[in-house]
Amino acid sequence: MNALVKDPMAWIDVGAVTDIPVRGARRVPTPAGDIAIFRTGDGEVFALRDACPHKGGPLSQGIVHGRAVACPLHNWSIDLATGEPLGADRGKGCAPVIPLRVEDGRLLLGRTG
């Protein structure tokens, strides 16, 4: 007997990949708080909670370099794939990673429920 398996993730279309500038970011307001979506120089996209783990700075206003973003308040570098601070600040908190996928050039943010 085959059972239907429901996808536990609800995906929300938040725009086109091209809405995010190369080596840039955009803030997406949600009921659960702001999300920052980043696009690297080679076109990868990532989503993090838009708050640095150090002092809550808006990561969406930071400078994207490689696969990291520099917090605009105190220049902490945050890994876009893990949300972890890099270098000497490693292990001092984390910006939660938000599920994100690209489908037909559209950005889909994930949320459980």
Region for 99 from its dihedrals, namely left if φ exceeds 0, alpha if ψ lies in -120 to 50, beta otherwise: beta
User: Within the chain, where are the H helices?
Assistant: none
Site of tokens 């949300």: 83
- pTM score > 0.75 for this model? yes
Query: How would you label 42-77 residue by residue, b for 16+ Cβ within 10 Å and e otherwise?
Result: eeebbbbbbbbbbeebbbbebebeebbbbbeeeebb
pLDDT at 2 over 60: no
Closest among 88, 56, 83, 91 to 67, alpha carbons compared:
83
The predicted-structure confidence for 58-111, as pLDDT tens digits, reads as follows 999 999 999 999 999 999 999 999 999 998 888 888 999 999 999 999 999 997
CA distance 86 to 104: 32
- Domains with residue ranges and CATH for the chain: 21-98 (2.102.10.10)
Q: Which residues contact 64 (CB under 8 A, 6 or more apart)?
A: 23, 24, 25, 38, 39, 40, 41, 80
Structure tokens at 40: 């690297």
The predicted-structure confidence for 32-55, as pLDDT tens digits, reads as follows 899 999 999 999 999 999 999 998
